[in-house]
Structure 1
């Protein structure tokens, strides 16, 4: 359930740790994933040794989500001699092997074809159902592509910015006007008291002083 099989890796490693380090580094760099040694339970060769062909490597992962993450980014290995496949039971693997020639034949005929577990699904792309399935397949491939890191331009709503600026200006003008009015009134009251020699008593009566 948590296993994957790696094909195409030469048998050139001296010990287990050297092989594990290669697999971990290869998957991290090629698939652009942050994988650690703790993500792997074991990494070992399977099958009988042959001088003319490298044996596959069985990767046993510690978490199922790590397997899904690797399979999601498997398209990044396109063009590489190293490939990754799921570890199916022996009978399922044999059935998939027999279905593969029919899969290739259907795709050459321009049809949508895919092997799901132990079944071959073929749909005519010209039909509405086939077109829908093809679009979903292409969409799934696009979602696996690396994200675009270009920055998205930030736009400012000029209308809202203008409203905020006008409100701020109005508040400043209002405060300034009140300060000027208060200063003018205070100055006028002081001048009148000095020039006329008038002071206001606490009981509200006017008292005239001789100057």
Structure 2
């Protein structure tokens, strides 16, 4: 299985990819387990906190039912650190030639970001047919993605940024959306409270969302 096939398999397996900003590494394992119990085993842990890499390590080592990815990858150093920590897929809000070059050499798949037609074309030239669309709501939302469907018929997107339980179905109803990314399934308040059963319930609701 190629890295792109592996990425497609991960993203097609669930309608929502939880996007997690983990402040304390000890939250990572119970949080990943709670989400997996609810039907969302694949998660994106963003490199936005000092604890992120440790969180990825803990989930990779201790939660075999989870599929742990790393997000907010901005450069090759981030990419390499995340892979070393155990990330099985890499997510970037954008794209650079150096990131593309490194991803070509790595067995760990990259989900690069694109928010303009030119960026979609640049990624397609590199062989990518699934892209992150971020920040989704601020960059034009579902209407913008719908407009891209015709000229870029072979490209699908994982929109992230401003996605919630209220609008996720709108995005999932688009023919060029493979899944959505969102943080609403793991609110900070519930994580801080250790309310894992409530997070499992939120994940279960999100896992029921399907493409129309």
Rg larger in 1 or in 2?
A: 1
Instruction: Quickly name the TM-score band, shorter chain normalised.
Output: under 0.3
Relative contact order higher in (CA < 8 Å, ≥ 6 apart): 2
More helix by share: 1
Q: TM-score, normalised by structure 2?
A: 0.23
Q: TM-score, normalised by structure 1?
A: 0.23
